[in-house]
Amino acid sequence: MPNPHLSPLLEAVASLEEAWADAECGTDLSRTQLLAVNAAIGTVQRCFDGIRAEVAAGIDHESRSELGADSLAKQQGFRSSSSMIAATNGGSMGEAAKLAKLGKATAPRSNLLGERLPAKYPAVQAALAQGAIGAGAAALIVAMLDRARLRAGAERIAEAEALLVGSAAGLSVDDVRKLVTHAEAWLDPDGTRPREDEARANRSLTMFERDGSFFLDLRTDIASGAPIKAAIQAWVTATFQARTTAPHPDAADADHRSVAMIQADALTAICEHVADCDNGGLPMSGATVVVRVSLDDLTAGTGTATIDGVDHPISVSACRRMAASGGVIPAVLGATSEILDWGREKRLFTRAQRLALVERDGGCVMCGLPPEMTKAHHLRWWARDAGPTDLGNGVLLCESCHHRVHDNGWGIRVDGTSRRSKVWIIPPANIDPQRTPRLGGRARYDIAA
């Protein structure tokens, strides 16, 4: 009889076998099969991650140093449990150590009387066992909850765990990292300032030449880095916009630079402009740094603020310093001073409307590119549908996702007109017959949304 503990994994393997059908190799699969097989592989991988973490924790426990010569790892000829697991799985010792740590955080415990207790993080344990999240996402959640545990308290930690597990399902590890960053600031807003002070105290810029190349190595705090990032990204955006009217890609003078190359060229051009100070006009129209903070937090001097296009929140004191600088727009949430709905009077979205859309969407609502790489688009077209230039009819999209919406049948729905409104991405019927809405925009990473 199958082990109930392995049932989710076995069911996932059965789904994979059914999806693969009679194809001899992956290149023989139809598009429908490829989607089904890819989904099944993901579930298998996530279920397998949970089992690997449990086994790694068991091996680590049986290889603890106090066992001496009776250590399981040493009996097998290894110096540690991590080296044994890495050699068996073909991975690294660092990955093995992370697996063992995750397994211990999600394994049942015992008290001094030997009575069985729930896992330290039961919601993460359940999600791992069912294949809802993978080891990478689970490890990020556990590490953050451990850091915030003493300051936040058990009740808040449990609330954050449940919210994170629910929100992390279906996200990549990179997206979960953004989610966890916002969650940590939500759990421990007072911890943001010490981390900023440490980062600022350790700021550095080293420059050296080697083998005909010039090297820069910059490390600074988030608030200080925000205008640098905004300026360089604005240059990159302007460059790609210029490519739309440039010669054919096969032409001799076509621009084939990579993003990394353009970023390097942008830094050079910006410094040349500053050195000459000739107001020659850099393509920096999108290089606006917007710092967002609630009126209550700004007044009290507590809590955190966010910078458009930057994942890590900053302290309110850092927000105040930035607001005193040129080129920074402080967006205080809770007060309005400009008309944000224009109906049919204006075709293009105003600067104030765009700032409001950035607050709601956070960037491209579909792929998450930062605000400076997006444009405001009418959901109901201005000409074809007589769509108004209002916030409820506007959305931020990058050029690629804009074409995907118009050409491939994707839909977008906005609920409400406030800054807490949620944007939903609706796949076409050939992707999802039920057309189940997917959460998009800033709310996807906002644990308090």
Residue 78 covered by a domain: yes
- pLDDT tens for each residue of 341-365: 656 656 678 777 888 888 888 888 9
Token couple for 281: 């006009």
pLDDT of residue 90: 87
Summarize the confidence of residues 68-74 as an average pLDDT: 90
Same domain, yes or no, for 183 and 293? no
Residue among 399, 389, 393 nearest 349 (CA):
389
Residue 340 covered by a domain: no
Range of the domain at 362: 351-445
Residue 54 covered by a domain: yes
Token couple for 247: 């010669």
What residues have CB less than 8 Å from 110, skipping those under 6 apart? 116, 117
- Domain final residue pick, 302, 335, 368: 335
CB 96 within 8 A of CB 56: yes
- Domain final residue pick, 134, 167, 190: 190
Same domain, yes or no, for 25 and 172? yes
To the nearest 10°, the Cα dihedral for 396, 401, 406, 407? 180
- pLDDT tens for each residue of 230-272: 888 888 888 887 776 655 666 656 778 888 999 999 888 888 7
- pLDDT tens for each residue of 411-443: 898 886 666 678 999 998 888 889 999 988 888
pLDDT of residue 55: 92
Q: Which of 40-49, 54-63, 301-310, 435-444 has the lowest mean pLDDT?
A: 301-310
What stretches of 209-258 show up as alpha helix (H) in DSSP?
Answer: 222-243
* N-terminal to C-terminal alpha carbon distance within the chain: 44
pLDDT of residue 89: 85
How many domains is the chain partitioned into structurally? 3
Using the predicted structure, report yes or no on whether residue 405 has a pLDDT greater than 70: yes
Same domain, yes or no, for 147 and 20? yes
Helix (H, G, I), strand (E, B) or coil at 67: helix
Same domain, yes or no, for 270 and 375? no
Residue 37 covered by a domain: yes
**What distance in Å separates the CA atoms of residue 201 and residue 249, rounded to the nearest whole number?**
46
Place of tokens 């949620």: 422
Same domain, yes or no, for 25 and 125? yes
Residue 30 covered by a domain: yes
Same domain, yes or no, for 36 and 181? yes
Same domain, yes or no, for 165 and 279? no
Same domain, yes or no, for 361 and 295? no
What is the DSSP-derived secondary structure letter of residue 418?
Answer: S
Q: Which of 4-18, 74-88, 215-229, 376-390 has the lowest mean pLDDT?
A: 376-390
